[in-house]
Amino acid sequence: MAASRAAETPEQASNRLEEQRTRQAASRAAETPEQTTTRLEEQRTRQAASRAAETAEQTTIRNTDKLTRQAVSRAAETPEQTTTRLEEQRTRQAASRAAETAQQTTTRLEEQRIRQAASRAAESSEQQQVRREEDRRRRSNSRASRWSFMEREAFQYDPTKNYDNHPQLYIGRMTEICSCCDALKWSGEAPGMCCSNGKVKLPSLRQPPEPLESLMSGTTTTTSKHFLENIRKDAIANDGNADTLGQLVILPSTFTGSLRHMHEYTQDAMTYVRNYGRPDLFVTFTCNPTWEEVQEELLDGQNPSDRHDLLARVFKQKLIKLMNIITKSHVFGPTQCWMYSIEWQKRGLPHSHILIWLKDKIKPDEIDSVISAELPDRQQDPRLFQVIVKNMIHGPCGSINPGSSCMKDGKCTKRYPRQLIQDTQTGEDGYPLYRRRSPEDGGFKARIKTKFGNSIQEIEIDNKWVVPYCPLLSRIFQVHINVEYCNSVKSIKYICKYVNKGSDQAMFGFGKDGTTVDEVEQYQLGRYISSNEAVWRILDFSIHERHPTVVHLAVHLENGQRVYFTEDNLHERINEPPKTTLTAFFLLCQKDEFARTLLYCDVPKFYTWNASEKAFKRRVQGTSVPGYRNIRATNALGRVYTVHPNNFECFFLRLLLHTIRGPTSFEALRTVNGRKCATFREACQLLDLLEDGTQWNATMTEAAAIQSPSQLRNLFIILLLVCGPSNPGKLWESYKESLTEDILIKARRENPGLALNYTPDMFNQTLIILEDKALAMAGKDLKQLGLPTPLRTLGDRLTREILRETSYDLNDLNEYISTNEPLLLPDQKAAYNTILDRINRKAGGIIFLDAPGGTGKTFVINLLLAKIRRKSEIAIAVASSGIAATLLHGGRTAHSTLKLPLNLTQCETPLCNISKGTGEAKVLQECKLIVWDECTMAHRNALEALDRTLQDLRDNGKLMGGAILLLAGDFRQTLPVIPKGTMADELKACLKASYLWRHVHKLELKTNMRVHLQGDVAAGQFAQQLLNLGDGKIVADPTNGLITIPNNFCNIVDSIETLKTSVFPDIRRCFNDHKWLCERAILAPKNDSVNTINLQIQQQLPGVDISYKSIDTVVDIDQAVQYPTEFLNSLEPPGMPPHSLVLKVGSPIILLRNLDAPRLCNGTRLCVKSLMPHVIEATILTGCAKGEDVFIPRIPMIPNDIPFEFKRLQFPVRLAFAMSINKAQGQSLKVAGIHLETPCFSHGQLYVACSRVGTGKNLYIFALDGQTRNIVYRTALQ
């Protein structure tokens, strides 16, 4: 037979086996059950005898062959076959185990344990580590799968689904019975909650004697009711011991509910903010005494107010379910961290304040999917309608019910009724103004019964009174659940403190009766708790919960740790103070190589604190750290206790602990570059961690060593105007010779026979140059800046402002006009003549020049400016961005020229900060034309502020005070940037939303100059495709809302690496070519993508990178403990440089502030020439000063969108290999790459990005599957 089978072909063998299987299947199908049992038993006997006769080697060979066949077989399976096999295997196993006797089960489990023990004993350490990792992964996946049924369900709430009674959400009845004390419990409650598993023995309650029993029942007579209502009065009157008043008793942070305890939790919340950014959701979850689970457990005649034990326990179970569906079911998406705190209302019921941080942030256009502030449709969702009407209606209060408890000084403290609005908008307090449609716009009404005084009336309400809620959560829990979206860092301060504010408090006084001394001799601040809170504490329910854990780390000076001692251990404590987490950290760094790579606050991520041994131990759970054996990381966070800046040395010690990695002792911590400092303050100063006057001296010293006096003067005036040194006079005296050196050299050259040295006249000449510069940049003279006033011919300050706008060379202007006027295209000439005609007729008003990219807008504007200025008349040129301003002759930014207020969005009637009688006022009074380029980026309040100001300054009530305002731009581009704003926010801020827009006269430029002048057909096709993109004419896929980028539009790349190499090919060789460098950039919608790309490309440059750390301080020193330095370091407000700025020589950078317009504007790109500790030397790549070398100092910056004032001292630059699309508006590039892994999220972003180049062959786009989102607001284009 063996020879026969060996001679078989594969087809013959396959046929034989198939026939054999067929015969076998037929034979087994004909078997009776008894025959099958007999056959299987015989088969098992033969198999057991065969295996018993095997040698060890034969067994190994058989098992190996079996595993090989099995692996080949499973590898050939389709997914459906695998699923079927596993299902059949589970069914057989379940049937087999169901048929087992108890003894067989015990035997099987015992054999399994023995095999498992033998297998694990034979494991190597690597195999054990792999097995444990695999076990953890399986357990994690198994637990997660139990909750996956509601993934992101909050975004897709369906009123037809029955959410209420799902097993994972329903807590059921009290059916669990304690085996020790027979107490009834819910299945989710801890087994030992009642009697600690029999450790606590409670005596049986005896029946109270009469008449106490009747009095306690409260149902028999009026007397018993009176007794129950007044029983606490005597107790309260006799409570307390006045003899103990006046003693100082400190409640440490370990005491739950103490002020220090609440402060620690607030700081933990700030730790989450530092690591994960702002919270995404703020949820308030309230107890409902009418819950079915409460009502079912009440005894006859009881009310929920009689059973605070039930209320507390049910609320605890409901809160656990709520946190489970948020953090395990991920109804809002996967969570990064969360925390909650329990409080009690005035009526004694508990409620929870919950903060949620999500991994995937909720987008502004998703808010309405998750949160509603409207009444639901009663017909579509009757159950939710009843829940909202019953639980989520505020008041009503106000004029309807002035006696409502929320009213104070005639106003509702909760700001109800709210404004009815058609679309969700960004609020000024960090919360959105949610959509609340009026009945006319599709909103709903409801009739509710409410109490007015002693009567109950029925009134009609609309969406003005609805408290924001999540439909899914309200439907599930049928209770008051307020859900708020945190769209700004402004909400952090309020939320983090509110969540942890603690119990209510009362002020009460003690005085002596019958005396005429002080009316009140002493006050004591006291907390009071309700019955429900007492039950909560008795049951040992936690008042605060959070995840991940935050480990508190001690900070103290050497031998300054807190010591608790008694008479018995006094000497022992003095001789050997107890170890703290700080001293243990030093010991850990001495013996653990990996620990020496960590900051103090990073240690809990990799090590656990063993409280008994007072030492850090490596974690045995968590994910492995690549490159380090036996090191595991978790998501635990460390927080060093806060220190007030007045505690100087300890504060500086704490600052060093957040800066220096792996210190081995206090002495090592204050050793900088081998130098042992006497104090921690000195170490901080050497590391440039403190802001003081020495840095301005250092800045000037570094610059003076390498640059010319003219460049030094520019730097000096920037320091005076922007940085505000404490002693500018001393700074002048120290560097006046360096600032005057070129004047001395010129005098020596003109007088070669004289041995000239510095003279007062030379210094005076320098002061004149500095003052002229200061006046041009900021309108300030040297006296205002703390420097000596130069001696000069007294001239009218007004003349200076006028001269700046009229001192143009008339010959140059005439030549410019004669050369370029004939080049005007027909549509350009029509617009040009129309505007000049309006100016000549003194018609005034507003003109909008609608000009897509490439149609010659800047060409027409500069020609208009020249035409006005050649008559020695004033034409003002401004732009919304610094880059756009540099393209206009004499152009400056609108904010600096028109003195627009910084808080435009917060002013109801903003005005420009220009007073009558000033030079700026006279210029605006006499100007014939004001040009405002890139106007579509401007907020409508800016336009309205200019209108009010011009009417006032020119004493003319006409539009713009009778002047001509030429607005130029393209509404296909981005609208005013509203951080975290919605579509409604952007449209509300748009110029077209202003009451002035109806008076605007519109002109258009349509002809593409490149096509017309050069006959470039490809450029014409690209320009038309751009217009189609900007107008939203490229049809999106209805299933995902994405457009497919046309292949003939650009170069589609398949990876980020390809994108980088396409835009920056051979960068190591080409980066020194400034022209090549400034012609290209990668654009992306999000700053996160921009930062990553910038660092990746910079790493390809040769040389060493230099890291500059910002100095961040709270302006109000009393807030320093609330906002520690490391928290400030973590903030990256819009338009601010990062805390850690990493640069290399040769890297392109972009300026984030106007330092010296128009040379150094916000948006100017430069190339790093040299990096010094206190100053950056860079070459300007763009604008009117292209090719100049300049100095950039660190400057103080205070963001205006943070709820507290903090100052960041840092170089005002970012890397510019890549930049955000919003920042790129106004930039012109030859080669551009667009990173669209994260699609555009606002109107016009894709259009702006693509229109930075003039031809599609130089445009590279990375988008998944060649598709992306193109957001176009049709309203903005109408």
Same domain as 1015, residue 992? no
Tell me if 28 is assigned to some domain.
no
φ, ψ (nearest 5 deg) of residue 525:
-85, 130
SS (H, E, C) 295-320: HHHCCCCCCHHHCHHHHHHHHHHHHH
For the purposes of burial, counting CB atoms within 10 Å of the CB of 328, is it exposed (0-12), middle (13-18) or buried (19 or more)?
middle
CA distances from 1213 to 1136, 1143, 1155, 1229 (A): 8, 10, 11, 20
Domain C-terminal end among 944, 978, 1007: 1007
Tell me if 974 is assigned to some domain.
yes
Q: Tell me what pLDDT residue 568 has.
A: 62
- Secondary structure (3-state) at 366: helix
Output the six-digit token pair for 1118: 């009393």
**Residues 89, 74: Cα–Cα separation, whole Å:** 14
Q: In sequence order, what are the residues at sequence separation of 6 or more whose Cβ sits closer than 8 angstroms to the Cβ of residue 306?
A: 298
Q: Tell me what pLDDT residue 1250 has.
A: 92
What value does the mean pLDDT take over residues 1113-1131?
Answer: 82
Tell me if 217 is assigned to some domain.
no
Q: Half-sphere exposure of residue 1129, counting CA atoms within 13 Å on the CB side?
A: 15
What value does the mean pLDDT take over residues 928-947?
Answer: 92
Is it the case that residue 408 has pLDDT exceeding 70?
yes
Same domain as 166, residue 292? yes
Average pLDDT score over the chain: 84
Same domain as 906, residue 842? yes
Domain C-terminal end among 968, 990, 1007: 1007
What value does the mean pLDDT take over residues 416-437?
Answer: 80
Is it the case that residue 669 has pLDDT exceeding 90?
yes
Domain C-terminal end among 648, 675, 702: 675
Q: Using pLDDT thresholds of 50, 70 and 90, give the confidence band for residue 496.
A: low
221 against 999, higher pLDDT: 999
Of 211-215, 255-259, 395-399, the range with the highest mean pLDDT is: 395-399
Identify the domain containing residue 594 by its residue range. Answer: 551-675
Same domain as 989, residue 895? yes
What value does the mean pLDDT take over residues 350-376?
Answer: 90
| Beta-bridge partner residues of 1190 | 1178
Output the six-digit token pair for 178: 């304690």
Q: Using pLDDT thresholds of 50, 70 and 90, give the confidence band for residue 667.
A: very high
Q: Are 879 and 934 in contact (CB under 8 A)?
A: yes
What value does the mean pLDDT take over residues 263-288?
Answer: 85
- Name the pTM for this structure: 0.74
Same domain as 279, residue 420? no
What value does the mean pLDDT take over residues 1259-1264?
Answer: 93
Tell me if 423 is assigned to some domain.
yes
CATH code, 490 = 3.30.70.1910
Rounded (10°) angle between helices 760-778 and 709-718: 50
Determine what percent of the chain is predicted with pLDDT higher than 90. 30
298 against 776, higher pLDDT: 298
Tell me if 97 is assigned to some domain.
no
Tell me if 83 is assigned to some domain.
no
Tell me if 763 is assigned to some domain.
yes
Q: How many domains does the chain have?
A: 7
Tell me if 128 is assigned to some domain.
no
What value does the mean pLDDT take over residues 269-289?
Answer: 88
Q: Tell me what pLDDT residue 494 has.
A: 55
Same domain as 193, residue 307? yes
SS (H, E, C) 692-713: CCHHHHHHHHHHHCCCCHHHHH
Q: Tell me what pLDDT residue 225 has.
A: 65
Is it the case that residue 470 has pLDDT exceeding 90?
yes
Same domain as 311, residue 284? yes
119 against 517, higher pLDDT: 119
Per-residue model confidence as pLDDT tens digits over 254-272:
555 555 556 677 788 888 8
Same domain as 1129, residue 1075? no
What value does the mean pLDDT take over residues 543-563?
Answer: 86
- Across 752-761, 1041-1050, 1246-1255, least confident range: 752-761
Determine what percent of the chain is predicted with pLDDT higher than 70. 88
Is it the case that residue 502 has pLDDT exceeding 90?
no
What value does the mean pLDDT take over residues 1156-1185?
Answer: 89
Per-residue model confidence as pLDDT tens digits over 1014-1027:
667 777 888 889 99
Rounded (10°) angle between helices 857-869 and 826-840: 30
Q: Tell me what pLDDT residue 236 has.
A: 44
**Residues 967, 975: Cα–Cα separation, whole Å:** 14
CA distances from 416 to 238, 374, 404, 411, 431 (A): 42, 14, 12, 9, 15
CATH code, 839 = 3.40.50.300
Same domain as 1088, residue 1003? no
What value does the mean pLDDT take over residues 720-738?
Answer: 87
What value does the mean pLDDT take over residues 1199-1204?
Answer: 74
Q: Using pLDDT thresholds of 50, 70 and 90, give the confidence band for residue 62.
A: confident
Q: Are 264 and 328 in contact (CB under 8 A)?
A: no
| Beta-bridge partner residues of 733 | none
Q: Using pLDDT thresholds of 50, 70 and 90, give the confidence band for residue 249.
A: very low
What value does the mean pLDDT take over residues 209-222?
Answer: 67
Same domain as 947, residue 1044? no
Q: Tell me what pLDDT residue 370 has.
A: 93
Same domain as 984, residue 957? yes
**Residues 483, 474: Cα–Cα separation, whole Å:** 10
Percent composition of the chain: helix, strand, coil (DSSP 3-state, to 5):
45, 15, 40
Q: Tell me what pLDDT residue 676 has.
A: 92
**Residues 1268, 1089: Cα–Cα separation, whole Å:** 16
**Residues 6, 65: Cα–Cα separation, whole Å:** 19
What value does the mean pLDDT take over residues 1062-1084?
Answer: 92
Q: Tell me what pLDDT residue 1097 has.
A: 94
Same domain as 618, residue 557? yes
Q: Are 1063 and 1056 in contact (CB under 8 A)?
A: no
Beta strand segments in 810-861, E:
845-850
